[in-house]
């Protein structure tokens, strides 16, 4: 049995912890305030997070995710959108354009590994634009593989995005 990659196990654990936290909060309110509706809603959130975690675990165990490794060569900031366009160069020299949320900190020149949910089979043949849009919302996690050596002065090429 192969171990689960760290970013994926973190996502799995976080999904379960959020549901458990909601359930415990609802349980405390039920005992202290006799708030039955809040307890029922927190129980539903806990049940949904368990279902989501089980689904995610099944996808991880079935290896139904894409792994993309490469060096970040740059980015294109976009205004008024929640994604940032990241340019990645993989080991074979093939350039990739990824749409990653602005909450992820990525540095130019560093090597990263990205984990995405696999797009459905009907997207793989039709349009690369649809596949990119699907990958934008299906980022499971990312990990830093190799860091850039820190120099005395900060240049635009190795600053945080």
CATH among 2.40.50, 1.10.3470, 3.40.50, 1.10.1060 for 65-158:
2.40.50
Find out whether 158 and 151 touch, Cβ atoms under 8 Å: yes
The two structure tokens encoding residue 32: 């202290």
Please tell me the predicted confidence (pLDDT) of residue 155.
Answer: 43
- For the chain, 161 residues long, give each residue's pLDDT as a single digit of tens: 678 899 999 999 999 999 999 999 999 999 999 989 999 999 999 999 999 999 999 999 988 888 889 999 998 877 887 888 889 998 898 898 888 888 888 888 899 999 988 766 655 555 666 656 666 668 888 999 876 554 444 444 444 55
Element (H, E) at 9: helix 6-33
Whole-angstrom CA distances from 153 to 68, 83, 156, 159 are 30, 28, 10, 10
What is the pTM for the complete model shown?
A: 0.76
Q: Is the Cα torsion angle 87, 78, 124, 6 positive or negative in sign?
A: positive
């Amino acid at each position: 049995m192969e171990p689960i990659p760290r970013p994926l196990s973190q996502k799995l654990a976080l999904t379960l912890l959020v549901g458990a936290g909601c359930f415990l909060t609802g349980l405390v309110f039920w005992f202290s305030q006799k708030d039955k509706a809040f307890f029922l809603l927190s129980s539903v959130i806990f049940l949904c997070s368990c279902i989501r975690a089980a689904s995610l675990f099944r996808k991880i165990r079935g290896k139904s995710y894409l792994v993309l490794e490469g060096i970040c060569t740059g980015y294109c900031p976009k205004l008024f959108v929640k994604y940032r366009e990241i340019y990645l160069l993989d080991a074979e020299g093939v350039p990739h354009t990824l749409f990653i949320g602005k909450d992820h900190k990525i540095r130019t020149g560093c090597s990263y590994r990205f984990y995405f949910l696999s797009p459905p089979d009907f997207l793989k043949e039709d349009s690369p634009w649809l596949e990119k849009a699907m990958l934008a919302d299906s980022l499971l996690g990312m990990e830093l593989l190799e860091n850039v050596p820190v120099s005395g002065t900060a240049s635009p090429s190795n600053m945080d995005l």
